[in-house]
Amino acid sequence: MAITALAVAVTMALASLPAVAAGGTVAPSGSFGRLGPLTDLAVERLRVGDDVAAAKFGTGAPIDDPAREQQVLDQVRRQAVALGLSPDAAAAFFRDQITASKVVQRGLFARWTAHPGEAPTTRPDLGTIRARLDRLTTALLQQLSTTVDVRAEPTSCPVQLALAAGSAVVLESLDTLHRRALGSAVRSVCAAPVR
């Protein structure tokens, strides 16, 4: 998904204002729009991708892990059914998450290979990282369930997604690598069917 200059400009203007929740209270910080919480979780998952890259870099461990990816997709399909979501749509969304994580990992590997002084000096535990990813999977699926109505609207969904993704880019100060990965992560958010 390309984030238009207009969406970024609107987001930058809105970023300077406190978000007001229903009832007039100031809402917690995060991306704007009805898809903001979903986008925020996708960004959080991308940030975990940084840790995955740090855990694998220099070990010879491949970025692609088909067995782990299949485990994630199988888990997603089971959880999607329990939430009343289309297992195929949920799996497509999580394929995008996996692709986005690989974008981050490959980008960081290339950066660290070209600039060894920027490479991580500690190696996070991959088991701990995977537990975090499993928790994010559950939270992302819950957000997919919560946002079924807006994601099913063919006109509103792309606007809400542009607003959420654009504000995430600004609020999270995403660099070029993470912006590109976010585009991959949210590619199928507005794709049908949602249930």
More confident residue, 25 or 87: 87
Does 46 reside within a domain? yes
| Reported confidence tier of residue 120, pLDDT bands at 50, 70, 90 | very high
In a domain, 10, yes or no: yes
> Is there a domain that residue 77 lies in?
yes
Burial class of 118 by CB neighbour count within 10 A (0 to 12, 13 to 18, 19+): exposed
Q: How far is CA 99 from CA 6, 22, 139, 181, in A?
A: 27, 36, 18, 8
Q: Give 3-state DSSP helix, strand, coil % of the chain, rounded to 5.
A: 65, 0, 30
Q: Which has more pLDDT, 30 or 128?
A: 128
Question: Can you say whether the dihedral through the CA atoms of 8, 10, 11, 12 is positive or negative?
Answer: positive
Parent domain of 37: 5-185
Reply yes or no on whether the pLDDT at 30 is more than 70. Answer: yes
SS3 state at 26: strand
Decide if 193 is inside a domain. Answer: no
Position 115 in a domain: yes
Task: Report the CATH number that the domain containing residue 88 is assigned in CATH.
Answer: 1.20.59.10
- Asked if residue 47 belongs to a domain, the reply is yes
Task: Tell me the whole-structure pTM to 2 decimals.
Answer: 0.83
The domain total for the chain is 1
How confident is the model over 142-195, as pLDDT tens digits?
999 999 999 999 999 999 999 999 999 999 999 999 999 999 999 999 986 656
Q: Mean pLDDT, to the nearest integer, of 92-103? A: 97
Please tell me the predicted confidence (pLDDT) of residue 31: 83
